[in-house]
Structure 1
Amino acid sequence: MSETFRVGTRGSALATTQTGWAAQKLSEISGLNVETVLVKTEGDVVTGSLATLGGTGVFAAALRQHLLDSGCDLAVHSLKDLPTAQPEGLVLSCIPAREDVRDALCSHDGLGLADLPQGAKIGTGSPRRGAQLLAHRPDLEIVDIRGNVPTRLGRVKGIGETLDDGSVGRGTQGDLDAVILAAAGMRRLGLEKYITEYLDPSIMLPAPGQGALALETRTAGSGHAALDQALADFDDEATRLQVVAERSLLSTLEAGCAAPIGALAHLEGDELVLEAVACNPDGSQTMRRSARTVAAGISSAQQLGRDLATAMIADGAAVIAGLA
């Protein structure tokens, strides 16, 4: 009988969908069976905005502890939710090819960002999204929201009643003109039809690591040689270089995943290009910079992120973003 590896996940629809996809791929590559272990995290049980929860790592801590305690062999995270400091005893063994990096506008009546009425109410739990929206359209009203993807969608006028899986929370009302969600999560959940507009990174740079999954094991390995090899085979080098640069910038800025910082790296020929933005939370000031380097491996990607962040700090980015 084939060996079985255990993969830990949060219980939300998005988390279990992402975990199921990654686990199935690894099972196919390794020939091992898979068992899913649901872990309740602080971010799932505490109410309040992500910013007030501290943001960084609030969804990951319990999952990581379960992994350290050998309650599972592998944990699957949304990379953008992970703190930049890697805990002792754990390693990001695999970062698969990235999904869509963009943020998505989901609005009533199919209205694009430019078409939304003056003073439209836009829901987001992200200071980064709110700040960039206000920088682009200062007239908008940003409403802080939390909850899973269907619950957030249910806040939009005319969308709640079309969600037919019973997943919209009780008390949800169409009190918003639109919400902003990660395109990757919408696509993974098969909810792309609710996306009105994919927001171009020239308007809204995504969170560092957005669209990427992080597959984490104990430093000593998963306990299954075939799974360890599958993780190595499933890793995507281009995606890893990009997210390493983005997260290195975030780390150097000493900003958590709830900070108003956007970053996006991409490969251009043999060069790695990194764009970043630091915003005042009210959108009144933004600093946008870019830098590039020869893509010569992980250390060059880390250095690119550090150098760009250092230059931005020298120009006042920490003050603008409220990090100083």
Structure 2
Amino acid sequence: MEKLTIATRGSALAMWQSEFIQSEIEKKHGIKVELLSMKTKGDIILDTPLAKIGGKGLFTKELEESMLRGESDIAVHSLKDVPMQFPNGLKLAVISEREDVRDAMISEKFAKFSELPQGARVGTTSLRRRMQLLALRPDLTIVSLRGNINTRLRKLKEGEFDAIILAVAGIKRIGLDKEVKFIAPFETDLMIPAMGQGALGIEAVDKGEILEKIDFLNNQKAVIETTIEREFVKVLEGGCQVPIGINAKFDGENAVVNAIVGLPDGSEFIKESRVVKKADYKTAGAKLADEFIKKGAKELLKRAEDMANALQGENIH
């Protein structure tokens, strides 16, 4: 195999991710790796909540169709955007070493979350973040914030928001820490991240010669942690339209797992922390999800979905 083609979204973060993988493959194998940039439906439709137009698959579908047509071999995603199911002929082949998994408050005026004034306007695209922000501070005004990272940053600098919430991994990867005054990360037990946050997921055409070229990028620790997280969400049948946080962090032979499920307004939630053994990682996520279901998580998520639909008039997702 003399050439590999990566299908990628055209945003700054997506291009950084794809260029990073491009460089790693070229260094490892000495083959030519090309980028095929395209817009996805999620990049084009910015005035409608994601849940209303199809959820996170909107950021992967066009890339998947490119691979199925034979135009590209792999696609690099933020793992938190990767759906649970894959079209025939494609698979999740690689989970990379994780960056910082935390969320952070970004502000031009306030150095700490506790410094935000009563009723402060906070921008986020995420029901998960919205739920946890309002559980901590019911007084906040949460405002929908679509668009790529640079668009969100511009809106912050223009004063539309007192703060916005972004993943630390994205901030680091494209150097946003140099462009804003204050970055205040949340610890993962306070603001539980999305499944897979901080890791890259490489989706690939299910052919041996392609899979062999990218297998070296797998990180076993990240695979273990994100398997727990993705199985938790899979059993709960949760997607972009419902607020779910799940984070597993391995240290030696055990992992600390924090999880939360609740309503978008933060008024009700189920939140648990568990220590699980490394040997049990393939079943730990499903087991924890079953515990949540016994405590009413399915009913809570149904109410959360109804609440999210009601919020669509405010352009919140």
Number of the residue aligned with 1:168: none
Q: Tell me, what secondary structure is at the counterpart of 2:15? A: helix
Classify 1:86/1:274 alpha carbon distance in 2 versus 1 (closer, same or farther; 3 Å): farther
The one-character-per-residue Cα deviations of 1:145-197 (angstroms, maximum 9, x if unpaired) are: 100101111222xx3xxxxxxxxxxxxx4211010011111111111232520
Partners of 1:86 and 1:266 in 2: CA distance: 26
Give the letter aligned to residue 196 of structure 2. G
Q: How much has 1:73 moved relative to structure 2? A: 1.1
Q: How does 1:59-78 map to 2 (within 5 A)?
A: 59-78=59-78
TM-score norm. by structure 2 comes to 0.90
Q: 1:49 touches 1:145 (CA, 8 Å); kept in 2?
A: no
Q: Tell me, what secondary structure is at the counterpart of 1:52? A: helix
Q: Is 1:188 the equivalent of 2:173?
A: yes
The one-character-per-residue Cα deviations of 1:228-280 (angstroms, maximum 9, x if unpaired) are: 33422121000011111101000100101342000000113212332210121
Q: Tell me, what secondary structure is at the counterpart of 1:85? A: coil
Q: Is 1:84 the equivalent of 2:64?
A: no
Number of the residue aligned with 1:318: 298
Number of the residue aligned with 2:313: none
Count, aligned residues: 301
Q: Which runs of 5 or more residues in structure 2 are unaligned?
A: 306-317
Number of the residue aligned with 2:223: 240
Q: 2:124 touches 2:143 (CA, 8 Å); kept in 1?
A: yes
After superposing the two structures, state which structure 1 stretch, 266-275 or 91-100, moved more: 266-275
Classify 1:35/1:17 alpha carbon distance in 2 versus 1 (closer, same or farther; 3 Å): same
Q: 1:242 touches 1:265 (CA, 8 Å); kept in 2?
A: yes
Q: Tell me, what secondary structure is at the counterpart of 1:257? A: coil
Number of the residue aligned with 2:310: none
Q: Tell me, what secondary structure is at the counterpart of 1:154? A: helix
Q: 2:8 touches 2:18 (CA, 8 Å); kept in 1?
A: yes
Number of the residue aligned with 1:55: 55
The one-character-per-residue Cα deviations of 1:276-310 (angstroms, maximum 9, x if unpaired) are: 101211000121113333212xxx32311101011
Give the letter aligned to residue 185 of structure 2. Y
Partners of 1:228 and 1:29 in 2: CA distance: 14
Partners of 1:32 and 1:217 in 2: CA distance: 17
Give the letter aligned to residue 126 of structure 1. S
Number of the residue aligned with 1:170: none
Number of the residue aligned with 2:106: 106
Q: How does 1:1-324 map to 2 (within 5 A)?
A: 3-47=2-46, 48-156=48-156, 159=157, 173-193=158-178, 194=180, 195-221=182-208, 225=209, 228-296=211-279, 300-321=280-301, 322=303
Q: Tell me, what secondary structure is at the counterpart of 1:38? A: strand
Partners of 1:66 and 1:265 in 2: CA distance: 33
Partners of 1:273 and 1:185 in 2: CA distance: 24
Give the letter aligned to residue 74 of structure 1. I
The one-character-per-residue Cα deviations of 1:23-80 (angstroms, maximum 9, x if unpaired) are: 1111111111111101221111123122323323110011011111111011111110
Q: Tell me, what secondary structure is at the counterpart of 1:248? A: helix
Partners of 1:42 and 1:204 in 2: CA distance: 29
Partners of 1:86 and 1:36 in 2: CA distance: 22
Q: 1:101 touches 1:211 (CA, 8 Å); kept in 2?
A: yes
Give the letter aligned to residue 226 of structure 2. V
Name the Cα RMSD after superposition: 1.7
Partners of 1:217 and 1:151 in 2: CA distance: 30
TM-score norm. by structure 1 comes to 0.88
Q: 1:57 touches 1:83 (CA, 8 Å); kept in 2?
A: yes
Q: 1:95 touches 1:212 (CA, 8 Å); kept in 2?
A: yes
Partners of 2:19 and 2:119 in 1: CA distance: 40
Give the letter aligned to residue 213 of structure 1. L
Q: Tell me, what secondary structure is at the counterpart of 1:263? A: strand
Classify 1:21/1:317 alpha carbon distance in 2 versus 1 (closer, same or farther; 3 Å): same
Give the letter aligned to residue 259 of structure 2. A
Partners of 1:323 and 1:247 in 2: CA distance: 20
Partners of 2:172 and 2:248 in 1: CA distance: 21
Partners of 1:73 and 1:97 in 2: CA distance: 21
Question: Which structure has more helix as a fraction of its residues?
Answer: 2
Partners of 2:86 and 2:274 in 1: CA distance: 25
